[in-house]
Structures are given as structure tokens and as C-alpha cells.
Structure 1
């Protein structure tokens, strides 16, 4: 199984937690609407948050309620973005991006998840230098998807790189060009396995010890189960 296949499997695992995923999306949408206004055409952060929610099949009613909450009734809720860095079992680098209204609660929880699974929370900057923030668009290798055509459209739209994998294609962009490239591919009818601006590791670490594998899986699960956690990035190379 290639890296794209692993991401598909991970998304399948998350599908069982739709209510929790929707809660995270609603929070991100509300904060974006509060910070930049309720019109996604004039609020890039809100448009990106709505696109991510729709990719996870979040109902439009839920999205509209989150926008309204951020623009109006929820204006008294104060969320802040806090990023935690640390090491998982076997020295795997982990970055946790959170959106929280209680940083003491979130910090305590995140530290507990690392400690419980053979890892340790580090200081700011201890692993972030090992990652690059990039736009990443994954397209599956379905029938009818032409590698040459997809590559040409992506690069003409402003993509930095185009990577062919055994089970699909990876389009890499700068964070600034991500939305333009994504919109152009969507307009041409392409469907995405995932499309997001995320932290991409420069190098990866492979785990072979069964106990470390168990702890690493559990660490990611515990982090993703926390409502305050928006994104988890790591450099764990999942064995094929």
C-alpha cells in the first residue's frame, strides 16, 4: 500500500467519528467567520475551512450554523491557535495544531497523550524545522484520470511539484497558491482524496518495534479524538 492508500485508510477510520470531525470543522468555520467575516468570497480562511468541511461531507445546514455562530451569536467565544511539538515513540516528530478556549486544559491533555504513549512534549521549535508547510492535493488513480493531463493542468495553475505514486497523484503547491490550484482542478472535474495546506515532513522515521507501533497508533488516535485538536502532523513512515 502506498502513502495515498494509507491516507485513504486513515480517512476511513475517521469516518466512524463523523460527529467529532464535524465539531472540529464547525469550530474552525466559526473562528474564521468571526475573524474575517461571513462571506467566503472575501474571507480566504473561511472558504478553506468550508471546503475542508464539505470534503468530509459535513451537511450544509451545519456549515451555515457554524458561519452564523462565528459572525454573530458566538462572538463572545474566544478561541486561540496553539501549536505543540514533541516526540512520539521511537523519536517520531509530532506537531499538534489546536484551536482552544482553554489552553490549560488543552496543554494538560496533549502532554498526557504524549506521556501515556512513550513520547514526550518538547519546546516550541524542537521539531517544526523538520517540516515544510505546503498545499497538498491528492487525486486517486481511477479510470479516466490522465497523468499527463492532470500534471499539465496542475503545473499551469501554479503547482510546485507533481508526484506520481502507485495509487494516485500528489500535487504540491505553496500555501499561497493552494486555493487557486485546487479551484482549477475542481473546475476541471477532478475529485480529491484530500486537499489541504499541511505540514509535510522533510524526512521520515520508520518504526519496526510492535510496542512502539501500538503506542504511535494510539497517540494519533487520542490526539484526533480531542475536540481541541485540529491537525496532527508527524514524520512516521507507515510501512507498506
Structure 2
């Protein structure tokens, strides 16, 4: 019986892992399709697609799946019915949350998002209720060991908002969205030997610090949102206490 129980537990864990992997792949493929539809199939001129392709690579999604998603978005865009929606609301202690969704059923997704907010003591707000607390930026991450001053000098003419060395010694660069593609191409030509990443983020303009108990509740709210099929990413101005 013990052996059977152990095998059952292993199978249960494997099934959960497979389910998470499948859900992640579905979200990334959907993001690739919509990104290709909105900005074209060339990642060199489409920063959102470039970010989606990097996620696909990190998730080990097969090349043929990726190519199919790009083709579906760029060549058969009339069949792509997904809407991009930003849901805005309040979490624990008045903290702000933005949940970015891609959905083909706005009513279903809104109902699911509202349910997650309600059951976790949050409050789904109206459009514009918290978006003014965030700003969209292009973000570049350089691996540890590179010179921040050299990166800054390279990006000087592109309205770089911020260059920061993170806890793991990697270097984060934030820039205005309109300069994202130009800056990417410049970084690519100058630092071709480095594998830097590039994506689009919503950066909070003010922060709300939560204590440990509040952080546990907030973390659950964010995880429940991210586990929804149609939610691609979440952003918050909450600083969680570990």
C-alpha cells in the first residue's frame, strides 16, 4: 500500500506539473499570435513579439508551435478573435493591481476576474481606477558583470528612464516605449556577445508596503489571477514582506 501511495503521489505531482506546463504554453502561444497580429511577424520591429518569443524559448515550446502561432496572427488575422483587456482593481490594504488579459469571451473573463478579487478581499475597479498609478516601459535586462556606465552611454540619446543594478547583479534598463525597438537594435549591435532580454512592463509610480500577514493574502490574490486561463500577466504597486 505504501508503494502504491507513493506512486499515486508522484503521478499526482506529475499531472499538476503537466497541467501548469500546458497552461503556460497556451498563454505564451496566445501572446505570440496576438503580438504578431498587432505588430507584425518581425521580432526586430515588434518588441511585444520579441518578448513573447523569449518566453517561448525559456518554456521550451517547440519551434513548429511558435511558427504556427506567428503565421496565424500575421497571415490569418481575421481568424484571431482575442481582445486585449487591462482589468484594474484594488488588493490588500488599498494596493493597486492591473491584470492583463487576452480573451475571446469578455463576459466569462470579467466574471472570473471579479470572483478572484472578491474571494481574496479585493475589489475590481472601473477602467482608469488605478492605471494612473503605473507607466508602461520597455525593459532590458543585461547579465551580471557588465558595466552600467557603458550601457548608460550607449542609451544616452533614447530617454532612458532608469538604469539599476539588481540584487542578482544583473542590470535593468527602462526606456520610453517609442524608443524600445531603436534601443534594442543599438544594444544588439554594440553588445552582440551578451544575451540580454527585452520585454514590456507596467512600472508602479508609487508603492504600498505590506506586512507579512497582508503579503500572504496579497500573494494568494495575485497567484489566483495568474492561474486564470485568460490572464497573461499581473502588475502591482505592493511591496511584499517575506
State TM-score, norm by structure 1. Answer: 0.79
Maintained 8 Å contact 1:157/1:184: no
- In the alignment, the residues of structure 2 paired with residue 59 and residue 74 of structure 1 have an alpha-carbon distance, to the nearest angstrom, of 22
- The answer as to whether partners of 1:22 and 1:53 remain within 8 angstroms in 2 is yes
Larger deviation: 200-209 or 73-82? 73-82
Q: Shift of the alpha carbon at 1:237?
A: 1.2
Unaligned runs of 5+ in 1: 1-13
- 1:56-205 to 2 correspondences below 5 Å: 56-72=59-75, 75-140=78-143, 142=144, 144-155=145-156, 159-167=160-168, 168-187=170-189, 188=191, 189-192=193-196, 195-205=198-208
Distance 1:179 1:57, change over 3 A: farther
Q: Which residue of 1 aligns with 2:234?
A: 232
For 2:123 and 2:200, locate their aligned partners in 1 and report how far apart those are by CA, in whole Å: 26
Separation in 2 of the partners of 1:146 and 1:59? 35
Matched residue SS, 1:86: strand
Partner of 1:6: none
Q: Answer with 17-26 or 98-107: which moved more.
A: 17-26
User: Structure 1 residues 89, 43: closer, same or farther in 2, change over 3 A?
Assistant: closer
Specify the alignment match of 2:209 in structure 1.
206
Partner of 1:4: none
Partner in structure 1 of residue 223 of structure 2: 221
Cα 1:134–1:73 shift into 2, 3 Å: closer
- What is the CA–CA distance in structure 2 between the aligned matches of 1:48 and 1:165, rounded to whole Å? 20
Deviation string, structure 1 residues 202-236 (Cα, Å, up to 9, x no partner): 111111141x2222111111111122112211001
Deviations 1:141-185 (A, max 9, x none): x3x422322332333565333223443322010011122223333
Aligned length: 222
Cα deviation, residue 27, structure 1: 0.9
Following TM superposition, by how much is the alpha carbon of 1:68 offset from its aligned partner in structure 2, in angstroms?
Answer: 2.3
Q: Secondary structure at the match of 2:206?
A: coil
User: How far 1:89 sits from its partner (Å)?
Assistant: 1.2
Q: 1:183 to 1:54 in 2, by over 3 A?
A: farther
Preserved CA contact (<8 Å) 2:134 2:203: yes
Structure 2 counterpart SS, 1:58: coil
Q: CA 1:18/1:156 → structure 2, altered by over 3 Å: closer, same or farther?
A: farther
Q: Distance in 2 between matches of 1:125 and 1:157?
A: 28
